């Protein structure tokens, strides 16, 4: 189960005794202690990495299905909106529906991928999961969104980058299948952050310079001193709050965090490849989905990544894919190589 809010942040909230947040500490403790949700039907994982099944200009239509858990922790919940149906008036339902459409649109129109599996897989989401549940996650079948506690976190469908992030976990699962542990797990989280940012930029028509490069912007309440969960461009600066503490993400390999928690620091150390991606995109400028986005997608679908890929292996593959797509002497390949170098990750020359 791959969550957007890291356990170290929930730990801080759970341990707090701040009068601003009388309900948040309990909500965080419940989010940390909860068991995997009950599931209707078996989970079937792919046997082989899938390749995109559509050309970039080929028309395709998402098949969205939004369910309402109604405050319970049993999935999928009650189906409340299907593809083509009108707004329900429930903000979480309609935001999830629109966000899945925005995410599908990016993968379809830019990368030629029809849904998560490249073959039109239905996009399933559940909202109103649990009581004041402080997270969103991909469980291998669907995206699941809590409503937040209302003191620290707002509803998790409020941020398009969060919706894109969770769906991108499904794409990784169907392509490179990066193991959710250590450096490969940090790459798994990084890929979701990268495509979550691209979904938001694509929907807003933003170039790499205008983009905020924030993940989860808007999910903190006004009581929190913070912009977002993470900053791809400036890891370690997303928040600095009396209760939450300071964003602990490293921005360079010299500060890489060795830990047994958080699956070996997957949410922490993802800041390093995140910064490499954002730096390369800004150096190239223009629309990031047309440059680094294409290269990262090529890398995911290349079949050349081991499920336990390290930062160095992933970086080297992005450079190879950039040279293949844009040319060995291209500005895109040079910017990607330099982006990795700036965060202390060597690439093969």
End-to-end CA distance of the chain: 36
- Is the CB of residue 338 less than 8 Å from the CB of residue 331? no
**Known catalytic residue: 166?**
yes
Q: How far apart are CA 90 and CA 80, in angstroms?
A: 10
Q: How far apart are CA 160 and CA 4, in angstroms?
A: 12
Q: What is the DSSP letter of 87?
A: P
Considering only CA atoms, which of 343, 68, 50, 37 is closest in space to residue 190? 343
- Is the CB of residue 181 less than 8 Å from the CB of residue 266? yes
Assign 74 to helix, strand or coil.
strand
Longest dimension (CA), the chain: 58
Name the catalytic one among 104, 165, 190, 267: 267
Count how many Cα atoms sit within 13 Å of the Cα of residue 131 in the half-sphere of its side chain.
5
**Known catalytic residue: 151?**
no
Query: What tokens were used for 90?
Result: 């429930």
Which helix (H) or strand (E) segment is 98 a member of? helix 91-111
Name the catalytic one among 166, 189, 234, 332: 166
Catalytic center residues: 166, 267
């Amino acid at each position: 189960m791959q969550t957007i809010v890291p356990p170290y942040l929930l730990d801080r909230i759970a341990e707090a005794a701040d009068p601003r947040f009388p309900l948040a500490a309990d909500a965080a403790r419940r989010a940390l202690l909860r068991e995997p949700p009950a599931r209707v039907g078996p989970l079937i994982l792919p046997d082989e990495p899938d390749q995109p099944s559509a050309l970039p200009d080929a028309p395709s239509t998402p098949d969205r299905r939004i369910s309402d858990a109604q405050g319970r922790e049993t999935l999928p919940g009650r189906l409340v909106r299907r593809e083509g149906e009108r707004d329900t008036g429930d903000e979480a339902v309609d935001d999830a529906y629109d966000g899945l459409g925005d995410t599908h649109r990016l993968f379809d129109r830019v990368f030629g991928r029809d849904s998560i599996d490249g073959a039109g897989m239905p996009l399933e989401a559940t909202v109103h999961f649990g009581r004041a549940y402080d997270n969103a996650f991909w469980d291998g079948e669907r995206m699941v969104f809590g409503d937040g506690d209302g003191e620290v976190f707002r509803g998790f469908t409020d941020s398009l980058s969060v919706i894109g992030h969770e769906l991108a976990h499904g794409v990784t699962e169907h392509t490179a299948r990066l193991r959710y542990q250590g450096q490969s797990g940090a790459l798994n989280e990084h890929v979701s952050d990268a495509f979550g940012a691209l979904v938001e930029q694509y929907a807003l028509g933003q170039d790499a310079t205008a983009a905020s490069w924030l993940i989860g912007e808007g999910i903190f309440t006004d009581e929190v001193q913070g912009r977002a969960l993470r900053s791809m461009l400036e890891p370690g600066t997303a928040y600095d709050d009396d209760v939450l503490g300071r964003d602990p993400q490293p921005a360079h390999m010299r500060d890489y965090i060795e830990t047994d928690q958080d699956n070996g620091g997957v949410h922490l150390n993802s800041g390093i490849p995140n910064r490499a991606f954002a730096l390369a995109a800004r150096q190239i400028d223009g629309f990031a989905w047309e440059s680094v986005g294409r290269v990262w997608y090529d890398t995911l679908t290349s079949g050349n990544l081991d499920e336990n890929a390290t930062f160095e292996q992933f970086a080297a593959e992005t450079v190879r894919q950039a040279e293949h797509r844009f040319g060995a002497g291209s500005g895109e390949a040079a910017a990607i190589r330099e982006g990795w170098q700036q965060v202390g990750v060597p690439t093969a020359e």
